[in-house]
Amino acid sequence: MNYGLIVIGGGPAGLKAACSAAEKGLKVLIIEREAQLGGILKQCVHDGFGVIRFGEKLTGPEYAYRDITEVKRLGIECLTGTFVTGICDKDGGFVVETTSAQGIRSDFTEKIALATGCRERTPRQVNIHGTRPAGVLAAGACQNFVNLKGLLPGKRAVILGSGDIGLIMARRLTLEGAEVIGVYEAKATPSGLQRNIRQCLDDFGIPLHLKTTVTDVYGDKRVEAVRVSAVDDSMNPVGEGEIVECDLLVVSVGLIPENELAEKLGLQTDPATKGIAVDQYMMSAGKEGVYAVGNALHVHDLVDYVSEGAATAGADAANTRKRSLVKVGAEGLMYVVPQYVDVSDANEKKTFYMRAPRDMAVASVKLYADGELVAERKLKNVKPPEMLRIQFKFRASDSITLRLEEEE
């Protein structure tokens, strides 16, 4: 079949990108590898989704349900249980090859949106040693067992990493009757949102140990204990540490955008985001017609922003633009998305997503065009876990730089 847009991934990013493209009249196909649409939201049974977009606190499945309803209303074609095995350029568009229980199939599309989400960093990627027993799980896998499979993986849990999923799982495991001994974070500041620290740890009396990590796992068949140890400023363990008895180690140490398909298309990833570099419509800077949305592009803090970016991409897929791209410099920031801007429309308000490298009480983001300060936003209480979203309008220029400065 021929499509205007094929969206790979049926999570919140893919669903929204598909809807906004279909609204513009494109023939859209969503390809989802799991049996049901909704992506990771399916297992996020806690609330807090949609505050910005809907002005309501929804659960993950409720949030996904709204987009799925919209997908159905728009009559968008969906292939679930379908895995993309190949993707290549053809006649200015792309051929997407898939495998499913129905067999193999090959479709042509003019444009493509990668909404493949992200995967979790593994315990081994944070240098955990010792044995390899049952009871060591990535936080998302643990969440899947508890919320989708109805199984509790342990009764005495240690959580490594204060990322949002780890915090959510601390509360979830507690509610399911497990004892959560503590959350250990190697960094000096928590990795998750403030509201999650409050609602998931403080409200349940779960201690958060900063500048502390898990170094070793003990136990043959099942985890019997872990060794926790203080770390120095470069996050290397110092001293002997102490043994904490537990039967479950939940690891929530970060997410990595899944970009295997982008790599198949020969696209380089931005080392800062681990996603591909895009313009303000989320279109790849290196290849026209390829979009990346959601956590495959960069790891978001809130799903509301995932949907926002995906909507931008979907709507743009219906356009033909003559691009004039300028690289966006980032100073004093961990990263900025988009990494490039199409400066052909000076009247357009451009949205930037970025993250600060450390806590700042007062700061400002300054935008320089051709070296000249053209816009500035004051910010309060800046924290790395909370993504910054700022819109700027600026004239066409040859160089654009965003700079985050801490203020007294």
Partner 1 sequence: MAFVEKINKKLKKKGLNVTASEYNGAVRLTGEADSWEEVLEAGRIAAHVRGSRGVVNDCRLKGRSPETVRMPKNEDKSLEGIAPDVLVIGGGIVGAAITRELTRYAVTVAVVEKEYDVGTAQSARNDGMIHAGIDLKPDCKKVKYNVRGNKMYDALSKELDVPIERPGQLVLYTAGWQKLIFPLIKLRGLRNGIPVYPVSPRGVKEYVREPGLGFGGFMCPSAGIVSPYLMTIALMENAAHNGAKVYVDTAVTGMEVKEHKIVSVATNRGTIYPKAVVNAAGVFSDRIAEMAGDRHFTIHPRRGVEAVLDQKAYPKAKCVLGKFVISGSSGSGHTKGGGVIVSIDHNLLLGPSAKECAERENEATTREELDEVFEKQSRLAPELKRSDIITYFAGTRAATYEEDFVVEKSAVTTNFIQAAGIQSPGVTAAPAIAEDVARWAVQEVLGELRKNPSFDPVRKGIPVVREMSGETRARLIAENPDFGEIVCRCEQISKGEIIAALHTPLKVDSVDAVKRRVRAGMGRCQGGFCQPTVVRIISEELGIPPEQVTKKGAGSEVAPYPKRGSV
Q: Does 90 bind partner 1 (CB under 8 A)?
A: no
User: Helix, strand or coil for residue 351?
Assistant: strand
Q: Does 125 bind partner 1 (CB under 8 A)?
A: yes
Q: How many residues does the chain have?
A: 408
What mask of x and - would describe binding to partner 1 in positions 103 to 122, judged by CB under 8 A? xx--------------xx-x
The count of chain residues that interact with partner 1, using the rule CB under 8 A, is 47
Q: Where are the alpha helices (DSSP H) in 5-117?
A: 12-23, 51-54, 60-73
Q: How far is CA 319 from the centre of its chain?
A: 26
Among 220, 240, 245, 345, binds partner 1 (CB under 8 A): 220
CA 318/CA 28 separation, integer angstroms = 11
Among 1, 89, 90, 127, binds partner 1 (CB under 8 A): 127
For residues 17 and 37, the answer to whether their CB atoms sit within 8 Å is: no
Q: Does 55 bind partner 1 (CB under 8 A)?
A: no
Least spacing, CB of residue 122 vs partner 1, in Å: 4
**Cβ proximity to partner 1, 146 vs 228, nearer residue:** 146
**Cβ proximity to partner 1, 126 vs 334, nearer residue:** 126
**Among the residue ranges 125-133, 304-312, 331-339, 375-383, the one whose residues contact partner 1 (CB under 8 A):** 125-133
**Among the residue ranges 10-18, 22-30, 95-103, 331-339, the one whose residues contact partner 1 (CB under 8 A):** 95-103
Identify the CA nearest to 113 among candidates 360, 317, 367: 317
Among 140, 182, 275, 289, binds partner 1 (CB under 8 A): 140
Tokens read off for 291: 């979009």
Least spacing, CB of residue 146 vs partner 1, in Å: 7
DSSP 100-133: ETTEEEEEEEEEEEE---EEEPPGGGGT-EE---
**Cβ proximity to partner 1, 6 vs 365, nearer residue:** 6
Among 54, 83, 108, 394, binds partner 1 (CB under 8 A): 83
DSSP 170-196: HHHHHHTT-EEEEEEESSSS-SS-HHH
Q: Does 195 bind partner 1 (CB under 8 A)?
A: no
Q: Does 210 bind partner 1 (CB under 8 A)?
A: no
**Cβ proximity to partner 1, 19 vs 128, nearer residue:** 128
Q: Does 172 bind partner 1 (CB under 8 A)?
A: no
Q: Return the ∠ at Cα 271 (arms to 266 and 276), rounded to 5°.
A: 40
Pairing state of beta strands 325-331 and 400-406?
parallel
Q: Does 146 bind partner 1 (CB under 8 A)?
A: yes
What is the largest distance, in Å, between two alpha-carbon atoms of the chain? 64
**Cβ-proximal residues to 51 (8 Å cutoff; 6+ apart), any chain:** 57, 302, 304
Q: Does 329 bind partner 1 (CB under 8 A)?
A: no
Among 55, 92, 177, 371, binds partner 1 (CB under 8 A): 177
Burial (Cβ within 10 Å: 0-12, 13-18, ≥19) of residue 186: buried
Q: Does 231 bind partner 1 (CB under 8 A)?
A: no
Among 153, 161, 163, 385, binds partner 1 (CB under 8 A): 153
**Among the residue ranges 57-65, 101-109, 180-188, 299-307, the one whose residues contact partner 1 (CB under 8 A):** 101-109
Q: Does 61 bind partner 1 (CB under 8 A)?
A: no
User: Helix, strand or coil for residue 146?
Assistant: helix
CA 191/CA 201 separation, integer angstroms = 13
**Among the residue ranges 134-142, 201-209, 308-316, 322-330, the one whose residues contact partner 1 (CB under 8 A):** 134-142
CA 169/CA 214 separation, integer angstroms = 17
Phi, psi angle pair for 63, to nearest 5°: -60, -45
For residues 246 and 304, the answer to whether their CB atoms sit within 8 Å is: no
List residues binding partner 1 (CB under 8 A): 33, 81, 83, 85, 97, 99-104, 119-120, 122, 124-125, 127, 129-134, 137-138, 140-141, 144-146, 148-155, 176-177, 215-216, 220-222, 237, 263
